């Protein structure tokens, strides 16, 4: 292959990679901008869940970051069937579904177990 | 403190690490007096389970003395002697309230990762990858025990560590595997894998009323140990297992089969060879040869109980046999907390002495060699019993201690 052709191939490959990267970045950003709703059932009565949500201090602990308060789009509570607790629907903007679910998990842990679990290691 | 640390595939070292500390109000710090290497630790040693990181402390079978408790722990005090279940459970979520402790919804801080792989997460586990929370394990001098007010069980001073240590995992695991078979008087049970869990599954099946237990393995010492427990040994290197089971059950097939092998099954058939190739090139976590055999050989309407660990996606599972024979598959991590008290009572009543399983004793310093022995089945290793403080106190080097340990780190005989 001549040097000219090699250079052309490299430029084409670089352009394709750049276009793909731009597309993926834009898509990810667009996805993050969209509100995402996640749900978890908390084994506690609606009163207890509401009491927790109303406490700024406890919610700070569950959110882990005060800035996240502003990203809450909607929060809805429903009674779970069979007396299994309270279903908590949380809609958040700009953080994606996994981070939204993690917030719900932290709220659930705080209410049910009284603390947020950590596997923080103490190895050297 | 000293701890057994994973540094890569087949690379286990004893290293000095930071002491654990109380991080949450329901934590306790336990000084480990006895620990062991589990058969499922081999999946970590062999680098098959994903999400283990160099520097992680291993070990999920341990017991010890409570050194410190968090502000919310009211049922334990400094100085209490406890056995700690390998499953970490909060005791408050719906799963825990239904006594399905290994499905605790709160104890795995990395639940979102497990959820992506399995749909939903299970409980956190000690020393068993970051998929299950990244908790540091108990093959160490000290360990942090989360939700200490729910998991650990206090044990009487009348029982030796050797008798109660295995309540932390293998005894309840073998027992739950047998219980999952819904054994009725006269049942015949086939158990694949005569490692530690298999040995307890055999004895538990008899305790629950089985008439006959058929033990399948290829390692003579393990088959002998199974025979000592009353099982009929079958060496799969010597016979066709399907034919042997058919013959031993009068053509009915076993009423239930227990797969105590899990993801690292050995075999000579084409499916076993294909599994090995796929696992070696990381196309699959699991070598499910035993699972297929168990499904194929169990009698109509039977149960296949699976205490052996599987991690990913298994192919070539004979679902036709599951459907046409109307089988039940029952599996899962053990709900250890559910079994602690009843099994402790059985030990107290001398219905079983779990120390029969111990073949090797030593200190933490012996762990790398024991891992190697266990992975290669060298030196007739079945089960280890490690005393972390031993080397530190120099006890192992003394003649008296060597006598106590029947040869220090050496084998004590099955």
What mean pLDDT, rounded, does chain B reach? 92
Task: Summarize the confidence of residues A79-97 as an average pLDDT.
Answer: 93
Question: Is the pLDDT confidence value at B352 over 60?
Answer: yes
Nearest to A123 among B55, B106, B112 (CB): B55
Whether the per-residue pLDDT at B409 is higher than 50: the answer is no
Strands A36-42 and A86-92: antiparallel
Q: How far is A91 from chain B (nearest CA, A)?
A: 17
**Residue B157 pLDDT > 90, yes or no?**
no
Residue A112: list chain B partners with CB under 8 A: 90, 92-93, 105-106
Please count the CA atoms within 13 angstroms of the CA of B261 that sit on its side-chain side: 25
Give the pLDDT band (50/70/90) at residue A65.
Answer: confident
Indicate if the pLDDT at residue B365 is higher than 80.
yes
d(CA B208, CA B200) in angstroms, rounded, equals: 12
Asked if B241 and B287 count as a contact pair (C-beta separation under 8 A), the reply is: no
Mean pLDDT throughout B96-106? 97
Q: Is residue A78 within a helix (H) or strand (E), and if so which, with residue range?
A: strand A72-79
Q: Mark yes or no for CB contact A43/B97 under 8 Å.
A: yes
Q: How far is B26 from chain A (nearest CA, A)?
A: 8
The encoded tokens of residue B220 equal 């003579």
Mean pLDDT is lowest, of B192-201, B266-275, B292-301, for: B266-275
**With an 8 Å Cβ cutoff, are B55 and A124 in contact?**
yes
Interfacial residues of A (vs B; Cβ cutoff 8 Å): 41, 43, 84-85, 98, 101-102, 105, 108-109, 112-124
pLDDT of residue A20: 94
Mean per-residue pLDDT, B120-131? 95
Helix (H, G, I), strand (E, B) or coil at A38: strand
**Other Cβ atoms within 10 Å of B331 Cβ, number:** 17
Predicted confidence band at B193 (pLDDT cuts at 50, 70, 90)? very high
CA distance A72 to A47: 21
pLDDT (average), residues B392-408: 36
Mean pLDDT for the stretch of residues B196-216: 97
Lowest mean pLDDT among A94-98, B67-71, B296-300, B321-325: A94-98
Higher-confidence position of A65 and B354: B354
Phi, psi for B126 (deg, rounded to 5): -70, 135
For residue A100, what is the nearest residue in chain B, using CA coordinates? B112
Instruction: For chain A, say whether B112 makes contact (Cβ under 8 Å).
Output: yes
Neighbours of B189 (CB within 10 A): 30
Q: Cα distance from B80 to chain A (closest Cα, Å)?
A: 23
**Residue B155 above 50 pLDDT?**
yes
pLDDT for position A58: 87
| Res A60: pLDDT | 87
Beta-carbon contacts of residue B393 (< 8 Å; ≥ 6 apart): none
Comparing B161 with A63, the larger pLDDT belongs to: B161
Tens-digit pLDDT profile for residues B369-378: 999 999 998 8
Partners of B136 on chain A (C-beta within 8 Å) are: 119, 121-123
Task: Assess whether pLDDT exceeds 80 at residue B319.
Answer: yes
Contacts of B105 in chain A (CB under 8 A): 108, 112
Q: Each residue of B18-36: pLDDT tens digit?
A: 999 999 999 999 999 999 9
Task: Tell me the pLDDT band of B389, cut-offs 50, 70 and 90.
Answer: confident
Residue A124 has what pLDDT?
52
The predicted model gives A89-97 an average pLDDT of: 91
Q: What is the pLDDT of residue A123?
A: 56
In contact, B192 and B216? CB cutoff 8 Å: yes
Confidence of residue B156 (pLDDT cuts 50, 70, 90): confident
Which chain B residues touch A105 with a CB distance below 8 Å?
106, 111-112
Between CA B382 and CA B287, with CA B13 as vertex, the angle to 5 degrees is 50
DSSP state of A77: E
pLDDT confidence bin for B393, thresholds 50/70/90: very low
């Amino acid at each position: 292959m001549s040097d000219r052709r090699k250079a052309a191939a490299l430029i084409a490959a670089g352009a394709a990679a750049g276009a793909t990267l731009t597309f993926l970045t834009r898509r990810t950003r667009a996805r993050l901008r969209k509100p995402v709703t996640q749900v978890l059932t908390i084994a506690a009565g609606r009163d207890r869940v509401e009491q927790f949500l109303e406490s700024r201090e406890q919610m700070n602990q569950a959110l882990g970051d005060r800035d996240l308060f502003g990203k809450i789009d909607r929060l809805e509570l429903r009674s779970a069937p069979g007396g299994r607790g309270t279903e908590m629907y949380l809609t958040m903007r700009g953080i994606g579904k996994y981070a939204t679910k993690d917030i719900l998990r932290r709220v659930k842990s705080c209410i049910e177990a009284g603390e947020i679990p950590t596997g923080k290691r103490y190895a050297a | 403190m000293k701890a057994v640390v994973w540094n890569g595939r087949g690379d286990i070292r004893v290293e000095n690490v930071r002491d654990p500390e109380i991080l949450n109000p329901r934590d306790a710090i336990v000084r480990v007096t006895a620990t062991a290497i589990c058969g499922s630790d081999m999946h970590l040693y062999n680098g098959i389970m994903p999400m283990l990181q160099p520097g992680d402390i291993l070990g999920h079978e341990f017991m010890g003395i409570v050194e410190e408790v968090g502000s919310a722990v009211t049922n334990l005090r400094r100085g209490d002697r406890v056995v700690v279940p390998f499953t970490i459970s909060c005791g408050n979520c719906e799963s825990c309230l239904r006594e399905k402790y290994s499905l605790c919804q709160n104890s795995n801080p990395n639940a979102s990762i497990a959820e992506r792989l399995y749909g939903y997460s299970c409980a956190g586990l000690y020393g068993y990858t970051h998929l299950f929370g990244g908790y540091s394990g108990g093959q160490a001098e000290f360990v942090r025990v989360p939700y200490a007010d729910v998991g650990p069980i206090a044990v009487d001073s009348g029982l030796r560590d050797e008798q109660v240590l295995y309540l932390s995992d293998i005894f309840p695991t073998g027992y739950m595997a047998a219980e999952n078979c819904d054994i009725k008087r006269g049942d015949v049970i086939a158990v694949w894998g005569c490692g530690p869990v298999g040995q307890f599954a055999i004895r538990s099946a008899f305790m629950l009323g089985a008439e006959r237990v058929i033990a399948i393995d290829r390692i003579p010492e393990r088959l002998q140990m199974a025979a000592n427990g009353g099982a009929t040994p079958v060496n799969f290197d010597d016979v066709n297992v399907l034919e042997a089971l058919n013959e031993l059950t009068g053509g009915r097939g076993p009423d239930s089969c227990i797969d105590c092998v899990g993801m690292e099954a050995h075999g000579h058939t084409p499916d076993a060879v294909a599994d090995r190739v796929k696992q070696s090139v990381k196309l699959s976590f699991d070598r499910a040869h035993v699972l297929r055999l168990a499904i194929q050989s169990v009698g109509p309407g039977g149960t296949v109980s699976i205490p052996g660990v599987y991690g990913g996606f298994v192919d070539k599972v004979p679902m036709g046999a599951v459907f046409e024979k109307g089988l039940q598959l029952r599996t899962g991590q053990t709900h250890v907390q559910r079994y602690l008290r009843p099994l402790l009572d059985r030990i107290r009543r001398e219905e079983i002495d779990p120390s029969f399983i111990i073949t090797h004793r030593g200190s933490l310093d012996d762990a790398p060699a024991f891992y190697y022995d266990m992975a290669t089945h060298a030196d007739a290793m079945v089960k280890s019993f490690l005393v972390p403080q031993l080397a530190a106190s120099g006890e192992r080097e003394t003649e008296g201690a060597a006598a106590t340990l029947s040869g220090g780190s050496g084998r004590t005989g099955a």
